[in-house]
Amino acid sequence: MLLQRLPVLIAALWWGGITALSFVAVPMLFIQLGNPALAGGVAAKLFAFQSHAGLLLGLALLVILRRGTEEGGRPDGPTITTLGFVLLAMLLALLQQYGVAHNIVTARASGGNLRLWHGLGTAMVFGQWVCAAVVLWRVSGVRGAAERPAP
């Protein structure tokens, strides 16, 4: 029973964390602080935390979903698809944190192409958010009324 519910909790935490930080907390920083340089520094720390949390939550999902398959068996098609979305989100988090984030800081300091790097970072966060939403949808077992078993 726990292995059935734990992935839903982890996926909800992952998607909810990205939603709260990326679409609520970070925009509020820029609105409330009024200083883009100060808000940007704090936002960078929040995005770093989000990336590391996403990697840990994704790793937990990989382990749990893999263990949820039959003893010694291979995962079925839907599980493999879900694992693929987890891996894609983790890859985006790695690229964002260890590639794009550094280039945003460098571009800001050196007058480089901040718009390009910021756009790539935004796209990667959005990609993580979409992947986490798909994973949440898939592990939650949402089924239409026609698919539900009769009581």
pLDDT score of 151:
43
At 148, the pLDDT band (50, 70, 90 cuts) reads very low
Does residue 150 form part of some domain? no
Does residue 102 form part of some domain? yes
Does residue 135 form part of some domain? yes
Does residue 151 form part of some domain? no
Question: Which alpha helices (H) appear in 22-113, and where do they start and end?
Answer: 26-33, 36-67, 77-95, 101-110
Does residue 48 form part of some domain? yes
Domain tally, the chain: 1
How far is CA 114 from its chain centroid?
23
pLDDT score of 21:
95
Question: Rounded mean pLDDT of 83-107?
Answer: 93
pLDDT score of 113:
86
- Please state the φ and ψ torsions of residue 142, each to the nearest 5 degrees: -65, 125
Summarised one tens digit per residue, pLDDT across range 125-143 is: 999 999 999 999 999 985 4
Stronger pLDDT, 88 or 39, i.e. the higher one: 88
Does residue 149 form part of some domain? no
Does residue 147 form part of some domain? no
Alpha-carbon gap, residue 59 to 54, rounded angstroms:
8
Summarised one tens digit per residue, pLDDT across range 106-132 is: 887 788 888 999 999 999 999 999 999
% of the chain beyond a pLDDT of 90 = 64
Does residue 96 form part of some domain? yes
pTM of the model: 0.85
The residue segments making up the domain with residue 49 are 2-140
Question: Rounded mean pLDDT of 30-52?
Answer: 92
Q: Which residues contact 82 (CB under 8 A, 6 or more apart)?
A: 65, 134, 135, 138, 139
